A and B are shown apart, each in its own frame.
Chain A
Amino acid sequence: GQNIDQPTEMTATEGAIVQINCTYQTSGFNGLFWYQQHAGEAPTFLSYNVLDGLEEKGRFSSFLSRSKGYSYLLLKELQMKDSASYLCAVMDSNYQLIWGAGTKLIIKP
């Protein structure tokens, strides 16, 4: 079966760095996505990785290793507004998105 694993919850301190991991087992691979979802709101797109390596976008970076079935989202200089759930999703061979359950990130002052 297809599976996406990510931690349920993480806690970090304002101004610090946090890494959210995602491992996947899917039938085929056509890219990996990270989304941010604030409580009660719709997910918003953060990043897309289809080749191995690091993609950087301001305070957020996303890394992919296809051979290991592994990705992480790195958030730097954490701000209180970064408190949200972070969803990992993989596009399989049928171009359908397989979603993880999300990681709830709690930022403390």
Chain B
Amino acid sequence: SQTIHQWPATLVQPVGSPLSLECTVEGTSNPNLYWYRQAAGRGLQLLFYSVGIGQISSEVPQNLSASRPQDRQFILSSKKLLLSDSGFYLCACRSRDRDTGELFFGEGSRLTVL
């Protein structure tokens, strides 16, 4: 079965500082990978998704970027954080082997920008 590791779990960053969140997947090959953000009491907002190495689709224009340097590695970055970037960030994976296509999520990273 697939597992998703995401880190760091919690971080507090000043406005204008850089960001790097990392996600790795085990137990599946060539998965679809996703970065979501969840604001307090809100639904999941899709930020980026990737169907393969180097292939990134952006859903929302913002100061964030994503990269997929390896098949099972997905990175979310920012050069300069804004206050509005605070939230709960979730990496998710969908295996191509499963008919139902459900997403599996990493543990999440809670970002507070001060």
Contact = CB atoms under 8 A, between A and B. Distances in A.
Interface of A: 4, 30-31, 33, 40-45, 48, 50, 87, 89, 91, 95-97, 99-102
Interface in B27-85: 41-44, 46, 49
Given A41-B108, A42-B105, A42-B107, A48 B43 contact: no
Nearest to A41: B108
The A contact surface, by secondary structure, is loop
The B contact surface, by secondary structure, is loop
A43 B46 CA distance: 14
Contacts of B103: 33, 43, 45, 97
Contacts, number: 43
Interface in B74-114: 90, 100-108, 110
Interface of B: 41-44, 46, 49, 90, 100-108, 110
Contacts of A43: 44, 90, 103, 105
Contacts of B100: 31, 48, 50
A41 B106 CA distance: 9
A23 B41 CA distance: 19
Which of B44, B103, B107 counts the most A-chain CB atoms under 10 A from its CB?
A: B44
21 contacts: A4-B43, A31-B101, A33-B102, A40-B110, A41-B107, A41-B108, A42-B106, A42-B107, A43-B90, A43-B103, A45-B102, A48-B100, A87-B43, A87-B44, A89-B44, A96-B49, A97-B46, A99-B43, A99-B44, A100-B43, A101-B43
